[in-house]
Amino acid sequence: MRPLTGAAGDKSYRCPGCDQEIRPGTPHVVTWPAYARDSDLDPWDTESAADLRRHWHRICWDSRLRRR
pLDDT tens-place string over residues 35-63: 655 555 565 555 566 678 899 999 999 99
| Rounded mean pLDDT, 7-16 | 85
- In this predicted structure, the answer to whether residue 65 has a pLDDT above a threshold of 70 is yes
List of residues 6+ apart from 10 with CB closer than 8 A: 24
Instruction: Measure the CA–CA gap between 3 and 6, rounded to whole angstroms.
Output: 9
User: Angle at CA 11, nearest 5°, toward 6 and 16?
Assistant: 80
Q: List for the chain the helix, strand, coil content (%; round to 5).
A: 20, 20, 55
